[in-house]
Amino acid sequence: MQFSAAHRKATLFILAVLTALMATGLPRVTFDTAITLLISDSSPDKQRYDEVTEIFGSDNTTVLYIEDADLFTPEHIARLRNLVDDIAVLDTVERVDSLFSVSNVRDENNALETGPTIAELPKTVAEAERQRDIARDNPLLVGNYISADRPAMAINVRVRVADNTNENVTARSHEQIGELLEPLKGDYDDLFQIGRARIAYEMENGMSRDMVVLGGLSVIALMFSVLVFLRNPGFALLPLITSLVSVIWTFGFMGWMGIPVTLLTSMLPALLLVIGSTEDVHLVSAYLERLHEHPEGGRAGAVAAMAQRMSTPVLITSGTTAVGFLAMLVSDTIILRQFAIASSAGILFNIFVTALLVPMLLRTFGPRRPVRTREMTPRVDNGGDCQNEDSSTKTGLIGDWIGQTMVRIGRERRRFMVTAFIAVAVAAVMNLPRLEVNNDPLGFFHDDAAIVEDTQKLHETLSGAQTFFITLDIPDGNGQFDSAELLQASADVVDVVQGDDRFDATMSLAQLIRLINQKMSADPDAFTVPDNDALIQQFLLFFQRGDIERYINHDRTMANIVVRHNLTESTAANRAIADLQDKVDQVLAGHDDIDVDFVGLELMVNQAADDLILSQFWALLLVLVTVFGVMSLLFMSLRAGLLSLIPNLFPILVAYGGLALLEAPLTISTAIVAALAIGIAVDDTMHMLIRYSKECRRTDNEDVAVARTMQSQAMPVVSSTLALGAAFALFAFSEFSIIVTFGLMAATAMVTAMLTDLLLMPMILRHTRPVGLWQILSLRVGEDVLYNSPLLQGMSRWQIKKLILLSELHELPAGTQLIEQGAEGQEMYLLLEGRAEVYVSNQEGHPRFISAIHPGAIVGEIAFVDRCARTATVGAATDITVLVFTQESTQQRLRHYPHISLKLFRNISRVLGQRLAATLNQIR
């Protein structure tokens, strides 16, 4: 930071060059809405899925829904036939199945015929209606290709298997089919396409819009909030500038790394803006604070002090935030892993850009003088209550009022507040088991979105758009599914599926054979599998290879049952599949030679949802352990590490407990709220602990130290939280319901974190005395103090530094009187720097010089033990730095450091004993 302020032109040049280099990756950025992003990249089911789709074709099906009161007329049928032919030649299409191609079994003039229902175009309405009735007479066509009671039909388009590896190609198939449908929309009451291709297309368009809209709204909300609280338009521009550069770097990085824009990474512009703004606000607050304290230093002095004070906390808080996002790498879900890398890189880029840009901009354009307002500085009256006195300090009336109010509430309502926080935490934990997971892409959209309404209409009129396979396999090859026994086993499985109303329709070889048997027998009750192998072989002759290749492999050792459904919630879908698997295992209990697999991309997506909670638990645990370790190391105290977890964990419990209470599902978007909440909460916690550590060195009164801490930190905490909350709340304008839920959940977590910091932190601070590792490392103590002071004998250099940092430090000018002869006192002083002199006044009041004292010496040790009248006068001969000890404050400050306390009081006893012995020798 100091480099950027001192070398502004060089800094600007470095930023410009780096930005230009990173921007070269922007043309490489691609959009990816692949459903495969939602599964584990190490899923053992993926290999089986690839094998099955290689044999039986893609499960990536687009359903064209056509409905019209006059649908079955020659004109409409002719148009649809042309449409089918046009779709079949598209390069993204593997196969088209419809009433124009799917084989039907029917009785024609007392003869059994097979072939497409609409093999020839009808010439009259009567012919068209007859074709409709023939189709409806086939139970395998009803629900799959034609509605039983409405003038509606479906055309099923299978997208090529190769395209499944790139969902943008699948989205292209939607565009191609859409271009063919567009001229026909005015000819039919309802005409649309539903499937994975449309989901990909809608997601890509929604993501593009969200990046623009949410980014713009976040900018407005943030600038308005910062402007309201900091009252300077220039300060409102700082987060915008740093985030803009960070976004360029992040997306350039994504381009070079091959990380695409997905539903999660599309949020990065808004996230970097709102998260990065917190550090901008803290830096500006530190700049203004220094400007108020030392206006004579101007911009240069304020920026230098800001850099010195904020470099460590900003680096650490940004690092922990990045770790929070990076922890999502424990997940096997591809989209979360990509987001983990991109978001953590974005956070690190943002802090690097902030560290270079903010000091440079403040040094160039920042205010030169403080804006003085009537302020309130905390003081403590004799009763221990915090009062206020007028002063020209740094935080503003709002920040002062908030700080004082929070301290007062924490002191006067401590028991109530602790009880309330515990009650809320317990309620949240009790609700967590109710949390369900939804990973289904269709659930990403709003309930009133056209794609959701169209999917529901397809489900109600025909069958659900989602498809999976149930494969039956004889791995040793000792059996074929064209035999009566194994075909009956397949039929039993079909019956189980059809007996569960959670599944809409099935297609299989067993059903085709049943249908022919029924037609051949002319008996409606004969919809059964024949028990004669030879008869089954004769029935198979009715079909071309293309009619049955979807349902049985070439050597007939594998059978495939195609199941359609409309289960768009992962938890419900997983439960239904688990129930179905149990029932299938029961009906096949006597067929140990048959291996059963449930195969489908949506199935893997839903199964990955179950892993989402476990992976996020481990990610959260990793982050909490990291925060605990970092805080414990930084403040050299396990107690400080444990206490710092409270304000970081509580917002997460509230957010996820509230999510469960509202019966909203956990999704890939809401799963990242934990990392986000910790990143923001630990930022405020870190700044409060550092500030409290500083204030503790200025006063031995904890109430004053807490009040000063809250007064200085209330403004940046409140302003940044309200800005973040407002920005996240504006996610309600997203095209996706899961982004809306994420925004509201994140806003809730932000506000909860703010309330926890303001209400709970004052109570937590009273139970710790933090000393920063960087303070110990940077503290310089003279050799005279380290090795010659009787007060520090037996202590290590580390313990001496910690004692100094835990004690009240005063820097006094020459001429200051530390001790006055005859006056009562209880303070003991350890001289760290400078020189002091001891005088004793005679009966006439004339002072007589006794001795000079140098660094390492102590004075006033008798009064430390027992308040008494001073026997001599001690004054500063030069500017001095002293540590001030009283028995009460020392016991309070060192209560968490017993080893240091023991050595200190033992040394005091030794000093007193030595002086008592010297006095006795003089008397003798």
Show the 3-state SS of 358-419. Answer: HHHHHHHHCCCCCCCCCEEEEEECCCCCEEEEEECCCCHHHHHHHHHHHHHHHHHCHHHHHH
Residue pair 598/565 in contact by the 8 Å Cβ criterion: no
CA distance 917 to 32: 84
577, 554, 753: which is closest to 652 by C-alpha? 753
Q: Which residue bears the tokens 């692949």?
A: 34
pLDDT at 722 over 50: yes
Q: Which residues contact 421 (CB under 8 A, 6 or more apart)?
A: 650, 756, 759, 760
Convert the pLDDT of each residue in 112-123 to its tens digit.
788 899 999 999
Count CB-CB contacts under 10 A for residue 141. Answer: 23
* pTM of this structure: 0.79
Q: Which residues contact 923 (CB under 8 A, 6 or more apart)?
A: none
Count each helix (H run) and each strand (E run) in the chain, helices first.
31, 22
Q: State the chain's mean pLDDT as an integer.
A: 85
The amino acid occupying position 60 is N
Convert the pLDDT of each residue in 117-175 to its tens digit.
999 999 999 999 999 999 999 999 999 999 999 999 999 999 886 544 444 667 788 99
Residue pair 39/604 in contact by the 8 Å Cβ criterion: yes
pLDDT at 383 over 50: no
At 136, list the tokens. 């409806």
CA distance 155 to 181: 12
pLDDT at 484 over 70: yes
What mean pLDDT comes out for the span 755-780?
Answer: 73
Q: What share of the chain is helix, strand, coil (3-state, %, to 5)?
A: 60, 15, 25
Count CB-CB contacts under 10 A for residue 473. Answer: 18
Give the ranges where 57-153 is alpha helix by DSSP (H).
Answer: 74-88, 125-136
Please report how the helices 125-136 and 74-88 are oriented relative to each other, as an axis angle in degrees rounded to 10.
Answer: 60
Please report how the helices 673-696 and 638-661 are oriented relative to each other, as an axis angle in degrees rounded to 10.
Answer: 140
pLDDT at 547 over 80: yes
Burial bucket for residue 705 (CB in 10 Å: 0-12, 13-18, 19+): buried
What mean pLDDT comes out for the span 580-604?
Answer: 93
Convert the pLDDT of each residue in 186-213 to its tens digit.
899 999 999 988 998 899 899 989 888 8
At 801, list the tokens. 């530094």
Lowest mean pLDDT among 18-27, 306-315, 819-828: 306-315
Lowest mean pLDDT among 242-246, 686-690, 859-863: 686-690
Whole-number pLDDT of residue 340? 92
Whole-number pLDDT of residue 890? 82
Whole-number pLDDT of residue 721? 80
Q: Which residue bears the tokens 């396990």?
A: 638
Convert the pLDDT of each residue in 209-233 to its tens digit.
988 888 888 888 777 877 776 677 7
Whole-number pLDDT of residue 472? 96
